Amino acid sequence: MSRGALQPSQQKLAEKLTILNDRGIGMLTRIYNIKKACGDPKAKPSYLIDKNLESAVKFIVRKFPAIETRNNNQQLAQLQKEKSEILKNLALYYFTFVDVMEFKDHVCELLNTIDACQVFFDITVNFDLTKNYLDLVVTYITLMMLLSRIEERKAIIGLYNYAHEMTHGSSDREYPRLGQMIVDYENPLKKMMEEFVPHGKSLQDALVSLQMVYPRRNLSADQWRNAQLLSLISAPSTMLNPAQSDTMPCEYLSLDTMEKWIVFGFILCHAALNTDPAALSLWKLALQSSSCLCLFRDEVFHIHKAAEDLFVNIRGYNKRVNDIRECKESALSHAGSMHRERRKFLRSALKELATVLADQPGLLGPKALFVFMALSFARDEIIWLLRHNLSVCPEDESIIMSSFVNTMTSLSVKQVEDGDVFDFRGMRLDWFRLQAYTSVSKASLGLADHRELGKMMNTIIFHTKMADSLVEMLVETSDVSIFCFYSRAFEKMFQQCLELPSQSRYSISFPLLCTHFMSCTHELCPEERHHIGDRSLSLCNMFLDEMAKQARNLITDICTEQCTLSDQLLPKHCAKTISQAVNKKSKKQTGKKGEPEREKPGVESMRKNRLLVTNLDKLHTALSELCFSINYVPNMMVWEHTFTPREYLTSHLEIRFTKSIVGMTMYNQATQEIAKPSELLTSVRAYMTVLQSIENYVQIDITRVFNNVLLQLLQTYSHNSSAYLSYCLLLPLQKLVVDNVEVLTQMRTSFDKPDHMAALFKRLTSVDSVLKRMTIIGVILSFRSLAQEALRDVLSCHIPFLVSSVEDFKDHIPRETDMKVAMNVYELSSAAGLPCEIDPALVVALSSQKSENISPEEEYKIACLLMVFVAVSMPTLASNVMSQYSPAIEGHCNNIHCLAKAINQIAASLFTIHKGSIEDRLKEFLALASSSLLKIGQETDKSTTRNRESVYLLLDMIVQESPFLTMDLLESCFPYVLLRNAYHAVYKQSVSSSA
């Protein structure tokens, strides 16, 4: 290039640096994705693992970049069949490599232009120009190194070109240069060390300008502490003064970025290490701080080994090799502790900063520089820890990362409530151009001679960003999207944070960091947006779900403790406690002297020592910390999806509350027993009290939880309903029927023969047991009916239209409707609390109790005889003293009035299961029962007929309860005059008893 023809002012250095840096990141993204795809057997191009193409691929790689198609037809024959598919499927890979080559050409051209223009670089003066120059150099180095790490690059490029040769008769026009570039950059650093010899002066000047910035940034924690770095309250008199600096953009410049500039830059212009003490000092300080650097995302570069391998072969570099080895030992020995102490300092400094800014948000304006410095410092330490893969202390990660949450939340406040939106991007680009124009040689105004102008420009640019680019500044200083590529480490850190109660309040930082992930995508690689978006969604969902589960488990443990305490107050325990207390008092009065006085009730609730922490204390503390995190933000946006942390907790509480109520019923499958309703109610109330207290920790609608669970109790607790109904085991009743099957069969057809019936009745066994079991079944079904009525009343209040619609639908089912369809309607009606002719839950419960080795015909016969057994046994109830009917309670003292419900519902369910006629079987039952009861009207023994009239009323109750029987049918079997006289007698007896 002729210097005489070069016009520095017309080279558009600012524009070219801006465009090439952005394109370089895009190319890095594409090359990274190719490397990952080639390393994944599932995503790897199939042609690279196809057995049929294996010999051809090996041949191509061995001869690369030469092309030989004439004498090797046998090895390359298979490519003829696949050539069109190869061209189609490898085009994206091939032309990405071509784009890298073109990018390299543009970078080399720009670097030559910069050298020819003799550009002045100083990070403290022309910050934007120097930073963009160093960024471009490092991006270029990184790209070529990452390219060399794609092991399949020769195979991909060679396969594509051979397919192109076979299809078009010639190689792709870009192939010769591309192939040569791949060969030249087998060892990219070595090649670029030669390539950068002409650029050494410019690169060295730019790097040496860091001598005032990098050492000041790379201080120990003690030095930070002594300088009271990041403290807003260390000097109260200057608290409102704006934070100013001559090098404001340098103050929050990433340490990680500077170390990459220094390490990679001085590898390329290594001669400066022998001639410039400032360069050597920067080099050694960077080598002592880390053992590896981030190339791109999770690709790392091990500094010392690579540098030593390069310098050991250069004559006269023995001292530099020794320096590298000494720095390596120093890094291994001291870097870890140095960064650990920095993290300790940042934990306290960031807490203080976030607290002050949350309390006084007005300080954000004058102290914005401190905020971005804090974010940058914290981000650097997090990335260093992640990159070096050390044993992570959850306090480091969780607390430091929480600083992003606190500070970024504060910065999201609108700076201007009304008015026009500011946009100074054009002005900043003009300032960048001005830096470039005034930094070239022979400029009419040389920035090197007017450094104050450069510093003023840097300050102005910073302040304009405060007006219109806060989001970009946040991304620049605090973006940790790199965690997207360290998923396992990220999940491990989250679990460690969640497991420590003292750190769980910071767990919300992890799902919030998922909102950063999309910022690592680039428009030049759109194909990865979906993949990264899915990863961010899945991680955010997993984190929030785990947080909700942890909170749910803590709440469950607290509920368990409270239920235990409530259970101790139940009458069964109180009576025992009182009895024990009386016995102890009696023993004390009669015991030996000197026996210590017993503790008084309630002393267990007294706090004897403030240091004594109970299990409940620990649970409440852990819950409050975790709920702070869940309640921190109402929602968050991840890849255009909204996540609401509180809804996760609400959902888990509903599910757990539902399961807990099932557990509270204490259903014992072996004994078919459940908890007493009063005990269940006590436990549910204790559980609900704890859930109500959750509103003190997190803003959730616990009433909605109660409504969703309790108002749908019958639907949700299908198993629980079965637990109630399964108690009515017909298996014992069936056994009693089987034991008396012969007698019952004869009685079924002899109800019109009184004498024969009396003789047969004497042969029956276990008559009382049958009636007692049927009464118990009736009591349970009556209790369940009350629960149904309560459910219907509640639903009628809240959603009356639904209940009325279901009721109308149920009432208009034709009798001839298919039973399966009718049962579905009955299930819907039962769920709404409406009574049904046939109880669907009872049908399900009885269907599951079919006896083995019994044919359907035999089961149907046993069902019929069960109704016979109950009918002929009813007269024995009259001899029971407790069978007296009480008008006050509208029932019998021994609950035999519940037989009406048991007989009707069991008959309806049994003959639905066995597909028999419910009406015919109930008519048969009514005939047998009427005949049997009429017989006791002729008895003269008062002991056997003492409650005859009370038992007569059972017939009326059975008919009134039944949708299948009518009063006309009853009158045909049993004279109504007897019923009327029976009611008169029981009411008269009740009045005389009360008098």
How high is the pLDDT of residue 323?
95
How high is the pLDDT of residue 989?
84
Calculate mean pLDDT across residues 818-839: 79
Q: Would you place residue 816 in the very low, low, confident or very high pLDDT band (cuts 50, 70, 90)?
A: low
Of 418, 463, 457, 421, whose CA–CA distance to 438 is shortest? 457
Q: How many residues are given for the chain? A: 995
pTM to 2 decimal places: 0.71
Q: Provide the residue ranges of all domains of the chain, joining segments of one domain with +.
A: 8-388, 499-716, 729-797+849-992
Q: Rounded distance, CA 537 to CA 539, Å?
A: 6
Tens digits of residue pLDDT in 363-404? 888 888 999 999 999 999 999 998 887 444 444 455 545 544
Q: Would you place residue 987 in the very low, low, confident or very high pLDDT band (cuts 50, 70, 90)?
A: confident
Residue 827 buriedness (CB in 10 A; 0-12 / 13-18 / 19+): middle
Q: Rounded distance, CA 682 to CA 664, Å?
A: 10
Does 958 have pLDDT greater than 50?
A: yes
Helix, strand, coil abundance in the chain, percent, nearest 5: 70, 0, 25
Does 502 have pLDDT greater than 60?
A: yes
Identify residue 587 by its one-letter amino acid code: K
Tokens at 748, concatenated: 């079924």
Tens digits of residue pLDDT in 329-362? 999 999 999 999 999 999 999 989 988 988 888 8
DSSP codes, 737-767: HHHTHHHHHHHHT-TT-HHHHHHHHHH---H
Does 415 have pLDDT greater than 50?
A: no
Lowest mean pLDDT among 13-17, 359-363, 704-708, 913-917: 704-708
CA distances from 436 to 119, 126, 246, 673 (A): 8, 8, 19, 88
Lowest mean pLDDT among 74-78, 140-144, 216-220, 534-538: 74-78
CB 251 within 8 A of CB 373: yes
How high is the pLDDT of residue 722?
43
- In the three-class reduction of DSSP (H, G, I as helix; E, B as strand; rest coil), residue 396 is classed as helix
